[in-house]
């Protein structure tokens, strides 16, 4: 490739990966076309995309950005998976695909621009965005629920006593 072509491809890759701070690297060597298409189709259902890129061009495109540490793990034939949604869900999906397709090798991932790399298996064990939001909502609403229970309990006792007194008065 000439320098001009490399420069144009690098600029295009920079534009594709601009604003993305989470990605993972997989090796699809040895998979047939049908298996690759099945994986791509599954990823598309989760709004993810798989890009097979030349390693040196990807390293150039990632340079100076949040995905720069990921360039170090790009050795041999690689593909980059990115998603606008939760990358944890994508990692879980790829773990399932790796069980189905033995030749799919899951390499490293970078999550939310954290410069330390992790394996795809480690990422798949993390809690997803929905799970974390559910926990936060539970923690936020828990004190309110406890206060409501405390306020309701004495009122319930008083209402029970008044009802018992009213029943007693009617019976007499």
- 2-6, 28-32, 146-150: lowest mean pLDDT where? 146-150
C-alpha distances (whole Å) from 51 to each of 22, 106, 135 are: 14, 14, 33
Of the pLDDT bands very low, low, confident and very high (cuts 50, 70, 90), residue 172 is low
Q: Using a cut of 0.75, tell me whether the model's pTM lies above it.
A: no
């Amino acid at each position: 490739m000439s320098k001009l072509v490399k420069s144009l491809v690098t600029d295009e890759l920079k534009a594709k990966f601009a604003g993305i701070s989470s990605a993972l690297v997989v090796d699809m060597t040895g998979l047939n076309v049908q298996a690759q298409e099945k994986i791509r189709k599954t990823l598309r259902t989760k709004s993810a995309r798989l890009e097979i890129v030349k390693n040196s061009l990807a390293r150039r495109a990632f340079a100076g950005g949040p995905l720069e540490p990921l360039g170090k793990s790009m050795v041999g034939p690689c593909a980059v998976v990115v998603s606008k949604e939760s990358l944890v869900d994508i990692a879980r999906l790829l773990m399932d695909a790796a069980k189905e397709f033995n030749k799919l090798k899951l390499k490293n991932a970078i999550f939310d621009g954290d410069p330390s790399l992790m394996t795809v298996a480690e990422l798949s064990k993390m809690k997803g965005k929905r799970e974390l939001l559910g926990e936060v909502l539970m923690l936020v609403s828990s004190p309110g629920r406890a206060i409501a229970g405390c306020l309701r309990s004495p009122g319930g006792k008083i209402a029970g006593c008044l009802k018992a007194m009213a029943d007693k008065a009617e019976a007499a």
